[in-house]
Amino acid sequence: MGETPHRSAHAGTGGTRVTEGHDRPSGASARPAEAPVSIRTPGGAGLGGGGALPRARAFGAERAFRGLTVGAGATVLVIIAAIAIFLVAKAVPALRANTESFWSFEGWFPNDAEPRFGIGALAFGTVFSSALALLIAVPVALGIALYLSHYAPRRLGTTLGFLIDLLAAVPSVVFGLWGRDVFISPVRDFSAWLNTYFGWIPIFGGDGPFGKSIMLGALVLAIMVLPIITSLSREVFLQTPTANEEAALALGATRWEMIRTAVLPYGRPGVIAAVMLGLGRALGETIALAMTLGITFGISFNLIESGGNTIAANIANTFGEANDTGRGALIASGLVLFAITLIVNITARAIIHRRREFTESAA
């Protein structure tokens, strides 16, 4: 029987170890024991020695940036809440003095001894003119964006894109003056032609006069929102992965089929966001519509007869001559416009979020 291996003298500290010379088979050459490698951190403690991790600084750049971003987001919410509180506080006295239904009355007489005013006709005109402007602008904007991103030569696309972006910088009053003094003549002639040959359709009926109408305001509004939708849609289409486009072309798809199957589905959330941003711009437009609409109070789907009004245009036209109750009534109408734009933005975010979840689950 062999001898029992001797234990290390340091068994109490390093555990039970077989001493050198007894853990090798006979005849094997002895090697000098290698010194253990010790890795030390900048603080001086070895990784294997159980040293404490370096203490995090109480205040650093990351925490400062996090606090700054949280504060910025909270400031936006506080501003929105402050605007809502201000509008409600200023509108309540006028709403209490109103002798007619604020939601259904089609008139605006807040300066009378017995104030009478309603938001129905103004809200209808605001939504109707904005929806009509989007109906005209969105197909044109998407066509321009697709041409600039996938059909036009690079130099031509860059130049046209710059011109479209420059169109977005034109002030609203310039569009209003152009629509009132220049564009009104062809629109009046076109409205008379529509009334002559398509007057049996209610939206083109009536006996006139033509000119300052919902059609003129919607056309000017469409030209104003066109650069916003075009620019954003173009940037979204350019972000389509090249692999998706090349895969569609490799399968034998034409360029239009590639756009329909690879570009449009990928860019749909961005296009929705661009359209909703254009809608927000259209809902709040003031000066251009104040110059191009007939400024009447009534709910009508007629496009060519003189008339139409919006909340923002009514505020611009009547604020100077309003008394205390009249100013309160205008602020109440501004509160309704604020609610409409808020609902539009929330709806847009919900649509984009649902579309993003659908895309991620499909991937």
Work out the pLDDT band at 95, boundaries 50, 70, 90. very high
Range of weakest confidence among 139-148, 224-233, 279-288, 342-351: 342-351
- Report yes or no on 285 lying in a domain: yes
Rounded CA gap, 320 and 318, in Å? 6
| CB of 174 closer than 8 Å to CB of 183 | no
Query: Comparing C-alpha atoms, which of 86, 85, 66 is closest to residue 74?
Result: 66
- Report yes or no on 157 lying in a domain: yes
Mean pLDDT computed over 169-180: 92
| CB of 248 closer than 8 Å to CB of 262 | yes
Listed in sequence order, the residues at least 6 apart from 119 whose beta carbon sits closer than 8 Å to its beta carbon are 102, 103, 311, 332, 333, 336
**Residue 164: what residue type?**
I
Residues forming a β-bridge with 117: 108
Q: Which residue has the tokens 């001559």?
A: 321
- Report yes or no on 5 lying in a domain: no
What is the end-to-end Cα distance of the chain in Å, rounded? 69
Number of domains in the chain: 1
Q: What is the pLDDT of residues 125-134, one digit of tens each?
A: 999 999 999 9
Mean pLDDT of the chain: 83
How many contiguous H segments (helices) and E segments (strands) does the chain have? 13, 2
- Report yes or no on 228 lying in a domain: yes
Give the pairing of strands 116-117 and 108-109: antiparallel
- Report yes or no on 350 lying in a domain: yes
Structure-token pair, residue 79 = 């501003």
Whether the predicted pLDDT of 13 surpasses 60: no
Task: Judge if pTM exceeds 0.85.
Answer: no
Strand segments (E) across 195-246: none
- Report yes or no on 265 lying in a domain: yes
Q: Which domain holds residue 134?
A: 121-361
Listed in sequence order, the residues at least 6 apart from 264 whose beta carbon sits closer than 8 Å to its beta carbon are 271
Work out the pLDDT band at 168, boundaries 50, 70, 90. confident
pLDDT at 5: 47
| CB of 267 closer than 8 Å to CB of 236 | yes
- Report yes or no on 55 lying in a domain: no
Rounded CA gap, 108 and 94, in Å? 13
pLDDT at 230: 93
| Three-state secondary structure readout of 249-308 | HHCCCCHHHHHHHHHHHHHHHHHHHHHHHHHHHHHCCCHHHHHHCCCCCCCCCCCCEECC
Whether the predicted pLDDT of 62 surpasses 50: yes
Q: What is the pLDDT of residues 293-320, one digit of tens each?
A: 988 888 889 999 888 899 999 999 998 8
Mean pLDDT computed over 66-79: 92
Whether the predicted pLDDT of 15 surpasses 50: no
Whichever domain contains 206, its CATH number is 1.10.3720.10
- Report yes or no on 322 lying in a domain: yes
